[in-house]
Amino acid sequence: MPVYKDDNAKKNPWYFAINYKENGKYKKMLRRGFKTKKEAEAAMVEAQNAHNKGTYIEPSKTSYSKFMDSWLEDKKTTVKGRTLEFYSFLVNRYIIPQIGEIELSKLSPRDIQSLYNKLKEEGNLSDENIRKVHTIINDSLNKAFRWEMIVKNPAALVDPPKVSKKEIEVWTEEEIQRFLSVAKDSRYYCAFLLALTTGMRQGEILGLRWKDIDEENRTLSIVQTLSHDGKELTTGAKTDSGNRRISIDENTLGKILKLKHRTKVETIANRPLYNDLGLVICTSVGTPLSPRNLNRSFDSIIQKADVRKIRFHDMRHTHASLLLKQGVNPKIVSERLGHANVRITLDTYSHLLPNLQKDTVDEFGKLFYKTQSN
């Protein structure tokens, strides 16, 4: 076996050398940088087989760091600004410092697995974000493979990091009433009401405009969202399935429409400063409401109402759980929430399903044995 060890090399000392024929001429291939003899032998056999089949790709000597610069640049055309910022943060803070200097063609499953192990041990990233790191690496190396820069994607051979499922916190009906009783005097009462009665995301609520409300049919159209930092209104929802129309009840619609009068009064009172963006939930001068300020108000009301502390997003979960407990078809719940498919809804709220099954079985039993007795 033409596999050798370079005793002068401090790291990755193993390499292989083979002769092959191309266009009627004999050439020599030398590949260095393998950690073990076994790795060098496996790579050599793979290269020989690829040459024999005529599918060999010249390995790219580009570093993974340099490749990721171009990958992030290309992502500008496919993801939203906030998502790109998050990708860049994970790449530059956690991925590049660990494996960025490795040549793209020499990146191994072991290198990638070691990165995940280190991130888990350090404890600076949640399980969800370590999984996101894997998603980024796998996507980038899939692209390198499609562009014929590498022979195979090493991330595809690594098990995705496990994500521990967190228990969802939801309010009881009694807690909802206590919270709303205190919240009714808040400027942002309707923001809380929309979260509980429609399951809309916070960014969707803060991006809602008057022209998105169909009073006659009692529906809200989700066509614009506010970013998490409150600095950007973006056309479209978080996902394609998030662009949806939600039906609302008469009481909720009536309470929202009462805000129109306040908006008109503030427009006149603050005319020189008022920036009319047509937002339903906004500041006294018409500008988008900062999510941070809304969350601060939310936490304050929770304390005054003496209810369990949950996140703003958990009101969305509360809405879904109430619907499921009422026996609403999960497909309808999925559509209201803007999930890509009903499987996401069922996975998210699976803890409710045993109780729902019990109710269903009890009703079935009553019908079945009533039929038998007849």
Pairing of strands 213-214, 25-34: unpaired
Phi-psi region of 341 (alpha: psi -120 to 50; beta: other; left: phi over 0): beta
Same domain, 128 and 188: no
- The model's pLDDT over 227-268, given as tens digits with 9 standing for 90+, comes to 888 888 988 766 666 689 999 999 999 999 999 889 899 999
Rounded to the nearest integer, the mean pLDDT of the chain is 88
In 3D, which of 138, 97, 103 has the Cα closest to residue 119?
97
| Residue 245 included in any domain | yes
C-alpha to C-alpha distance for 153 and 138, rounded to whole angstroms:
7
Predicted local distance difference test score (pLDDT) of residue 48: 80
pLDDT bin (cut points 50, 70, 90) of residue 118 is very high
Does residue 132 register a pLDDT over 80?
yes
| Residue 336 included in any domain | no
| Residue 116 included in any domain | yes
Predicted local distance difference test score (pLDDT) of residue 188: 96
Pairing of strands 245-247, 3-5: unpaired
Domain boundary among 128, 157, 186: 157
Domain boundary among 258, 280, 310: 310
CATH of the domain at 108: 1.10.150.130
- Please give the residue that has the higher pLDDT: either 118 or 363: 118
| Residue 342 included in any domain | no
| Tokens matching residue 217 | 């049919």
- Please give the residue that has the higher pLDDT: either 297 or 80: 297
- Please give the residue that has the higher pLDDT: either 373 or 120: 120
Neighbours of 85 (CB within 10 A): 13
Q: Name residue 175's amino acid.
A: E
Predicted local distance difference test score (pLDDT) of residue 218: 95
pLDDT bin (cut points 50, 70, 90) of residue 361 is low
How confident is the model over 119-123, as a mean pLDDT? 92
Q: Cβ distance 193 to 252 under 8 Å?
A: yes
Sheet (strand 219-221) strand order: 213-214, 219-221, 245-247
Beta strands (DSSP E) in the chain are 3-5, 14-22, 25-34, 213-214, 219-221, 224-226, 233-235, 245-247
| Tokens matching residue 46 | 């793979």
- The model's pLDDT over 261-272, given as tens digits with 9 standing for 90+, comes to 898 999 999 988
Same domain, 218 and 295: yes
In 3D, which of 226, 200, 222 has the Cα closest to residue 81?
226
Same domain, 125 and 8: no
Which value, to the nearest 10 degrees, does the dihedral of the CA atoms of residues 362, 367, 373, 374 take?
170
Predicted local distance difference test score (pLDDT) of residue 27: 78
| Residue 255 included in any domain | yes
H-only helix segments in 147-239: 173-183, 189-198, 202-207
| Residue 272 included in any domain | yes
Question: What is the model's pTM?
Answer: 0.68
Same domain, 103 and 195: no
Does residue 352 register a pLDDT over 70?
no
Domain boundary among 127, 157, 187: 157
Same domain, 151 and 194: no
Does residue 367 register a pLDDT over 80?
no
In 3D, which of 295, 307, 294 has the Cα closest to residue 180?
307
Does residue 59 register a pLDDT over 80?
no
| Tokens matching residue 175 | 């807690």
Q: In whole angstroms, how far apart are CA 40 and each of 79, 146, 173, 289, 315?
A: 38, 24, 64, 58, 55
Same domain, 49 and 135: no
How many domains does the chain divide into?
A: 3
| Residue 324 included in any domain | no
Each residue of 303-322: b (16+ CB within 10 Å) or e? eebebeebebebbbbbbbbb
Residue listed under structure tokens 């991006």: 207
Angle at CA 280, nearest 5°, toward 332 and 193?
A: 50
Does residue 57 register a pLDDT over 80?
no
Question: Which range is least confidently modeled, 99-113, 161-175, 247-261?
Answer: 161-175
C-alpha to C-alpha distance for 287 and 184, rounded to whole angstroms:
22
Predicted local distance difference test score (pLDDT) of residue 82: 81
Predicted local distance difference test score (pLDDT) of residue 255: 94
Q: In whole angstroms, how far apart are CA 42 and each of 4, 15, 79?
A: 13, 11, 37
Q: What percent of the chain has pLDDT over 70?
A: 91
User: What are 29's strand-pairing partners?
Assistant: 18
Predicted local distance difference test score (pLDDT) of residue 242: 67
Predicted local distance difference test score (pLDDT) of residue 9: 77
Neighbours of 188 (CB within 10 A): 17
Same domain, 46 and 68: no
Cα-to-chain-centroid distance, residue 119: 19
Same domain, 196 and 301: yes
Does residue 280 register a pLDDT over 80?
yes
CATH of the domain at 231: 1.10.443.10
Predicted local distance difference test score (pLDDT) of residue 359: 63
| Residue 316 included in any domain | no
How confident is the model over 277-298, as a mean pLDDT? 95
pLDDT bin (cut points 50, 70, 90) of residue 58 is low
Predicted local distance difference test score (pLDDT) of residue 241: 61
Same domain, 185 and 121: no
| Tokens matching residue 178 | 């206590």
Predicted local distance difference test score (pLDDT) of residue 371: 59
Sequence-separated (6 or more) residues with CB below 8 Å from residue 66: none
How confident is the model over 166-174, as a mean pLDDT? 88
Same domain, 189 and 146: no
Same domain, 179 and 131: no
Same domain, 188 and 272: yes
In 3D, which of 124, 66, 75 has the Cα closest to residue 96?
66
pLDDT bin (cut points 50, 70, 90) of residue 357 is low
Beta strands (DSSP E) in 152-291 are 213-214, 219-221, 224-226, 233-235, 245-247
- The model's pLDDT over 171-221, given as tens digits with 9 standing for 90+, comes to 999 999 999 999 999 999 999 999 999 999 999 999 999 999 999 999 999
Cα-to-chain-centroid distance, residue 122: 22
| Domain ranges, residue 32 | 3-53
How confident is the model over 102-131, as a mean pLDDT? 93
